[in-house]
Structure formats: structure tokens, C-alpha cells
Amino acid sequence: MREQPTERIAKDAIKAWQITAHLTAIIFLIVSIAAFVAAYFFDFISYWIGIIAISITIVEWIITCFIVPKLRWRRWRYQIYDQEIYIQHGIIVVTRTVVPMIRVQHVDTEQGPILKKYGLATLQISTAATKHEIPALLEEEAADLRDQISALARVEQDDV
Amino acid sequence: MSEPKRIHPIGMLLSIFKIIKQTALSYLPLLIIAISSKQWMYILIGAIAILVFLLVYTFLSWWRYTYLLEEDQIRIEQGIIVRKKRTISKHRIQSIDLSQNLIHRIFGLTKVQIETAGSDHNIDASLHAVTMEEGRYVHDQLKYNKQMKEQLSDEAEGHNLEMKEQPAHPFKKVTPRALIIAGSTSGSFGIILGLFAIGFSELETFIPDHFYNQATAWVMAQALQVLIALAIVVFIFIWALGIVTTLIQYWDFTVTRYEKELYITRGLIEKKQSTIPLKRIQAIGMKESILRQPLGYASLYVEIASGEISQNGETTTLLFPLMKKAKVKDFLQEVLPEYDYTIDQPTSLPKRSLPYYLIRSILFPLLATIILAFTLLEWVYIPIIATILAAVFGYWQYKTVKFQLEKDYLFVQSRLLSRDTVIVKHSRIQSMQKKQHFLHRKQQLASINIAILNKFVGRHITIREMELDEAYQIADWYSYQKK
């Protein structure tokens, strides 16, 4: 755990995260617009609510779209050993996780519409007590890792 | 092997009680409407209809519930309209527990609960009333292999749960004295106090107004001394109630060690029995509440992997209600030698992590103080006291954190309010995390988080703000990858 893991996730992850950020921002934007509309029709609602909402939206948009994805991508690393999986993530709080292969209960890959557009997939690793994720790996890579981990995890387990 | 058997007819009585208990509240609105309408005739017909339905239903479900013991499995058939057949293989059974409540004891019956490893406890089976003899028979049939069975059937001549205690197996029994101490220092004291307050405020609505007013007037007319005396009496009464409930619950608490399992019996009115297979134990812990710590007492618990959550929502399982902390080591050596530990040089936290503990602790009361200072200045002393208390607790928490790494286990002591000491084996740790934010990085500190399995979603044992180097040592110890 002294050294950080070596493998990075796919670079397109940044684009995928940016799209997600755009979508959230659009929802925020709709709410802000609704606040303005409401202020126009009802006297008791101040325009200030709309102004505050729109400024929050803009700040949120800038942060989640232009700052966070890059930092996140830069931090995200993983490494698959024969005996364990090693993951690092987190922008402010950096978390390094060790999951031993013999504790892995099952491995899944998951792909939403945004990830699919970039040919990416998320790898989910579950133990009996915890769940871990490696987001945005290339599709083939994720599938390979899934098979590799499930093969490695197929070690005789003592109870749970 | 034999005919399918039904459970004891008294079981019907138990199911009726159970149904009434579960549905009692749902009758209430109906009852209120019925009484306010004053249609006594219809009420009578309705009540009889419900009763008849209940009786027929209970009888039919009793009639249709059969079980059959086979060579290495038990078959259960049930259901009035939809027939359900369930076969549980002997190898899949984790534990079989016999328990008795008051009705069981009167009729010499027992409930047999069969637990499997599944996370859904509906899958488990229970025979909710069979004779003690039959219960023992089912237990032994499903539990043990041939030779042990013979040995046990020699032993289990009587009809008592305690029959299983053979001197050959080490066991520990709680003393009434320890139970009294446990009761008088238990946290349930506060809960009972709360229940009392709620009960009283509910009761208010039932007391006729004029009586209530008279009583209030009388109370108000008394001198302060009388009121204080009254309060003390109530206080002592509640305290005594706490002791009595503890005594009833944990009377004769006995834990016996068998080759592959721990076996616990307890209870004065309701005899409860439970089995903890050793291989399901994930960690063992010792809890010292604020009241018990100065007296040198601790209660022991185990974290076990199981899908079922106990009725009171507790995720841990009590291993022993109360014992002197100094005796814990002896206890473990005898009953659970797998967890025999030596703690000689536990590591504390470095000085530079103290600020984190203090800030985390006082943050909210401090915010409250600031807000109140601007709004309601005359009440500001309440959050100030809270802040000071929080600071003391923060310091205490910091002081309590200790850990020690041994060849195959990790010892961690920490505190939220009670001091909690956990011993977890290397092979039971599900995953491990190390967390650092930028200040931590600058100061060479790190927090670690160790996940183990327990009854619910898993438990996380954390050590916050420890020396980075020591965090690495634990990580190296945990790592399966030998580099």
C-alpha cells in the first residue's frame, strides 16, 4: 500500500463524466428557470430565488464539468495481482483499498448508455461485506478483468 | 423412515396468541367504529365470525403442517391452499435451537428453530411446539453424526435444556451478583425511563378529567421536599425494574464450548437456547459502558455472519453479559482459545492527531453555540456546556484509541461513548482501506478502515488519524500479495 497502483482507467472516462455533469446541470438549469417563471407569475416569490439558483447552477456546472472529471481521472488507479485487487480513488480524501481475491464473492460489469457511447464499462467487485468499483474501463478490458478475477477468486474458501 | 408428524396441538394455542398479538392493532379502528355505532348485535356477529375464522384457520394450518425426518434431511409441508414443501439438507443446517416460553414450559414443550446460512430467514424452518423429547430427538437427528448421537442419547435422558451441560465441555455461568450489577448499570435504564414517560402521557387520556385535575392540584400543593422524595421513589423503582428485567432475561446465562460450536442458554421465564458455530464467528468484542468501565466490568460479544437480525435489532450477539475485565482473558482461554490474546504493548495515537478528534467532536455543538449566540443569547449556556462536554469526549476518544498487531489477529480499542475493544483475525477481514486527505498527507497521518462481515451489512472497524507508517504496517500485514 506504500506505492500507488500502476494501471489507469480509460481516458474517455473524463468525457463520460462530463456528459453526466452536463445532464445534472441541465436539471439544475430547468429548476432555476422554473424559479424565474414562478417569480414572474406569483408576486410572493422573489426573483432572488431564481438568481441564487442560477448562480449555484453555473458554479456547479463549472466544478463538476471542468475540474472534477480530470482530477478524478488522474487519481483513479487500480492494479490486479494474483492474490488481491488494489484500488486508489478520491480527489480530496484519497482512499486506497485492498481486496483479497479469496474474499471476492462475485464480479460484475455494468454499462449505462453514456458509458456505452464511449465503449466503456464499469467493473464491480463484491465481497461478503463490501462492494468496490472500477469505473470506466474499456469494454474488452473490463470483460477480461472480470473473467480473470473470477478465475483467480475461484480458490477454495473457508466459510464466508 | 417414519410417518410425517404434526406438531403438538398446543401449538394451535400459540399460533392463536401470535395472530392476536400481531393483528390486535388493526382491529382497533373497527372496534371504535363498532362501539360508537352501538349496533351490539352486529358487533357480536362480527366478533364471532372473526373468532370462528381464526379457529378454523389455525386448525387447518396446524393440520396441514407436517414434518418428516429422513436419513439426512428434514421435510416440511405446509399451507392450506397453496401447498409448500421444503426440504432442508442436514449439511446445510447451521444451527438448531430449542427455546421455551411460558406456555411451552407449562406443557413441557419446546420450539425448534432450524437455521440455515441463507440471508433470508424465511427460508429457515421452525417447529413452534413439540414435546421436549421430540425436540431433543429432532435436534440430535439433524445435528450430529452417528457415534455422537449414541453418546448424546445416553446423556439426554431428562427433559431439561440443561441436560447438554456435560462437565467434559468447558462452560461458564453468570452469577446472580454479576447480573444484578449488569442490571443496575445497564443502558436499558434510560429506555425504561423513556417508556415510562410515554406510558404516562398516554395514560393521561384515560384518566377522567376531574380526577386528573384533583391529583395535579394535590401534587402542586405538596412541598418541594415531597416532590423530590416522589421523584427519588420513581427513580429507584425504574432502576429496580431494570435490574429485574436483566435478571429475567439473562438468568442462568451459560455458555458452553463444544468442539465446533458455542452453545448458550439463558432466561428465567423464557428459556432460550442458541448455537454459534465457531466458523461463523467473525470477530470478538468487549464493551465497557461509561458506568461499567470505572467498576472494571465488561460485556463480551461476538460478530457472527448470519442473515438474520435479532428482534431487538442488534447486530452483535452477546457472548457473556458481564464479567470483570481482568477475567476476560481466562474466559477466552477456556471457552474460546482461538481468540486468546496477549496485549502487552498497544500503540496509541500520535499527538498531532488530537486536533482532528477535538474538531470532529465539537463541530456541531460549536456551530449551535454560534447560531444561538446571535439569536437567543440567554440560552447560549446550553450549547456551551455541550461543546465543553464534546471536547472532553473528543479527548477521551483520542486517548482510548489503541491497537496492536499480532501474527494472526489485530486488536483495536476505540470509543464512541462506551469503550469497545475488538479482536479480529486476519482471515476474517473482508477488505481494507487507507484514507488520507491533503492535511493528513502533509502530516504523515492516515485513517484505516477494516471491513468484516456481521449479521447485517458488515461492520467497519476504523482507526482514524494514525501514524502513516503504522497504517502501512497493518496494510503489509493484511496484504495477501507477498512482494
CA distance, residue A129 to nearest chain B CA (Å): 5
CA distance, residue B120 to nearest chain A CA (Å): 15
Q: Are residues A48 and A114 in the same domain?
A: no
SS3 label, residue B96: strand
Compute the C-alpha angle B299/B300/B303, nearest 5°. Answer: 135
CA distance, residue A126 to nearest chain B CA (Å): 10
Q: Is the pLDDT of residue B400 over 60?
A: yes
- DSSP lists the bridge partners of residue B459 as B452
A75 chain-B contacts, CB cut-off 8 A: none
For position B113, what pLDDT does the model report?
82
Split at pLDDT 50, 70, 90, the class of B199 is low
Sort strands B272-277 and B409-415 into parallel, antiparallel or unpaired: unpaired
CB contact under 8 Å between B305 and A96, yes or no, is: no
Tell me the pLDDT tens digit for each residue of B298-349.
999 998 876 555 555 566 788 898 889 888 888 988 888 888 888 888 899 9
Q: Which domain holds residue A61?
A: 8-73
Contact B433, B448 (CB under 8 A): yes
User: Is residue B457 within 8 angstroms of chain A, CB to CB?
Assistant: yes
Q: Which residue of B has its CA nearest to A92?
A: B437
pTM, to two decimals: 0.74
Split at pLDDT 50, 70, 90, the class of B388 is very high
The full 3-state SS of B284-308, as one line of letters, equals: EEEEECCCCCCCCEEEEEEEECCCC
Helix, strand, coil percentages (3-state) for chain A, rounded to 5, are 50, 25, 25
Pick the range with the lowest mean pLDDT from B143-152, B209-218, B374-383, B437-446. Answer: B143-152
In a domain, A142, yes or no: yes
Pick the range with the lowest mean pLDDT from A45-49, B38-42, B391-395. Answer: B38-42
Q: Are residues A142 and A98 in the same domain?
A: yes
Contact B256, B263 (CB under 8 A): yes
Greater model confidence, B246 or B120: B246
For position B163, what pLDDT does the model report?
46
Q: Are residues A67 and A130 in the same domain?
A: no
Interface test with A, best of B430, B443, B453, B472 (most A CBs within 10 A): B430
Q: Is the pLDDT of residue B156 over 50?
A: no
For position B306, what pLDDT does the model report?
67
Cα B166 to Cα B256: distance, rounded to the nearest angstrom: 9
User: Is residue B280 within 8 angstroms of chain A, CB to CB?
Assistant: yes
- Interface predicted TM-score of the whole assembly (ipTM), two decimals: 0.81
Q: Are residues A64 and A120 in the same domain?
A: no
Strand intervals (E) in A37-155: 77-80, 84-89, 94-100, 104-110, 120-127, 131-138
In a domain, A1, yes or no: no
In a domain, A144, yes or no: yes
Average pLDDT over residues A95-112: 89
Q: Are residues A106 and A123 in the same domain?
A: yes
A131 chain-B contacts, CB cut-off 8 A: none
B305 chain-A contacts, CB cut-off 8 A: 128, 159-160
Q: Are residues A61 and A93 in the same domain?
A: no
Q: Are residues A94 and A65 in the same domain?
A: no
B480 chain-A contacts, CB cut-off 8 A: 83-84, 100-102
- Ramachandran region of residue A119, left (φ > 0), alpha (ψ -120 to 50) or beta? left
In a domain, A84, yes or no: yes
Alpha helices in A42-94 (DSSP H): 47-62, 68-75
List residues of chain A with CB under 8 Å from any CB of chain B. Answer: 1-2, 81-84, 90, 92-103, 127-130, 132, 158-160
In a domain, A157, yes or no: no
Q: Between chain A and chain B, how many beta carbons pairs sit less than 8 Å apart?
A: 81
CA distance, residue A36 to nearest chain B CA (Å): 31
Nearest to A129 among B430, B475, B482 (CB): B430
Nearest to B431 among A81, A130, A160 (CB): A130
A156 chain-B contacts, CB cut-off 8 A: none
In a domain, A158, yes or no: no
Split at pLDDT 50, 70, 90, the class of B416 is confident
User: Is residue B136 within 8 angstroms of chain A, CB to CB?
Assistant: no
For position B160, what pLDDT does the model report?
45
Q: How many C-beta atoms surround the C-beta of residue A10 within 10 A?
A: 22
Cα B273 to Cα B155: distance, rounded to the nearest angstrom: 18
Q: Which among A45, A73, A101 is the end of a domain?
A: A73
Number of independent structural domains in chain A: 2
Q: Which residue of A has its CA nearest to B307?
A: A128
Greater model confidence, B309 or B451: B451
Percent of chain B's residues with pLDDT above 70: 84
Q: Are residues A91 and A125 in the same domain?
A: yes
Tell me the pLDDT tens digit for each residue of B357-381.
999 999 999 998 888 888 888 888 8
HSE on the CB side for B259, CA within 13 Å?
A: 3
Tell me the pLDDT tens digit for each residue of B244-299.
888 888 888 999 888 888 888 888 888 888 888 888 888 999 999 888 888 889 99
Greater model confidence, B271 or B438: B438
For position A157, what pLDDT does the model report?
54
Q: Which among A73, A95, A125 is the end of a domain?
A: A73
CA distance, residue B335 to nearest chain A CA (Å): 21
For position A127, what pLDDT does the model report?
86
For position A122, what pLDDT does the model report?
92
CB contact under 8 Å between A96 and B430, yes or no, is: no
For position B204, what pLDDT does the model report?
59
Greater model confidence, B68 or B189: B68
CB contact under 8 Å between B432 and A93, yes or no, is: no
For position A150, what pLDDT does the model report?
84
Q: Is the pLDDT of residue B394 over 90?
A: yes
Residue with cell 418541594: B224
Nearest to B437 among A81, A92, A159 (CB): A92
Q: Is the pLDDT of residue B161 over 70?
A: no
Q: Which among A73, A95, A130 is the end of a domain?
A: A73
In a domain, A83, yes or no: yes
Q: Are residues A82 and A35 in the same domain?
A: no
Report the CATH number that the domain containing residue A103 is assigned in CATH. 2.30.29
Q: Are residues A28 and A63 in the same domain?
A: yes
Q: Is the pLDDT of residue B186 over 80?
A: no
Q: Which residue of B has its CA nearest to A127?
A: B430
CB contact under 8 Å between B480 and A101, yes or no, is: yes
Q: B86-100, B110-124, B386-400 — which one is most confidently predicted on average?
A: B386-400
Q: Are residues A117 and A57 in the same domain?
A: no
In a domain, A60, yes or no: yes
Q: Is the pLDDT of residue B387 over 50?
A: yes
Q: Are residues A16 and A38 in the same domain?
A: yes
